[in-house]
């Protein structure tokens, strides 16, 4: 699962997406003035400007929330890559190598039969 990311990185990605969508809506709304002109174009631009600002404010709120979560998140060393990473909740992924991390042994991933035989040293 290379494409899975840590919770903090995922939330930051959604916040960035909201920022880009909000700016796109505002630019698209401005195009309404060029396409329709006059009063109708200004109304369309105003509507899209409001939706774009709401999206940008939601993005700002998510960035603030993630920043507050990040300050209280415990920092630990990843057993795979050795880099320091932050963890939210009982399970999370490393920000760098995406290894599943946990502080609760009941949530620890177990090796399957094929992985266990591949990880075991060969008997001589």
- pLDDT per residue over 8-38, tens digit each? 888 999 999 999 999 999 999 998 888 888 8
Could you read off the pLDDT of 51-102 as tens digits, one per residue?
Answer: 999 999 999 999 999 999 888 888 888 888 888 888 888 888 888 888 888 8
Three-state DSSP class for residue 102: strand
Query: What residues does each domain of the chain span?
Result: 7-105
What is the average per-residue pLDDT within 98-107?
78
Question: pLDDT class for 122, splitting at 50, 70, 90?
Answer: very low
pLDDT, residue 111, reads 56
Of 72, 84, 62, 74, the closest CA to residue 11 belongs to 62
């Amino acid at each position: 699962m290379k494409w899975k990311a840590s919770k903090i990185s995922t939330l930051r990605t959604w916040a960035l997406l909201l920022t880009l969508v909000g700016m796109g809506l505002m630019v698209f709304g401005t195009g309404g003035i060029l396409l329709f002109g006059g009063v109708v174009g200004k109304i369309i631009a105003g509507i899209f400007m409001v939706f774009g600002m709401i999206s940008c404010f939601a993005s700002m709120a998510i960035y603030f929330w993630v920043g507050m979560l990040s300050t209280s998140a415990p920092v630990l060393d990843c057993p795979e890559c050795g880099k320091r990473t932050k963890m939210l909740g009982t399970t999370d992924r490393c920000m760098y190598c995406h290894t599943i991390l946990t502080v609760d042994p009941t949530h620890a991933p177990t090796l399957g039969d094929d992985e266990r035989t591949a990880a075991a040293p060969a008997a001589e």
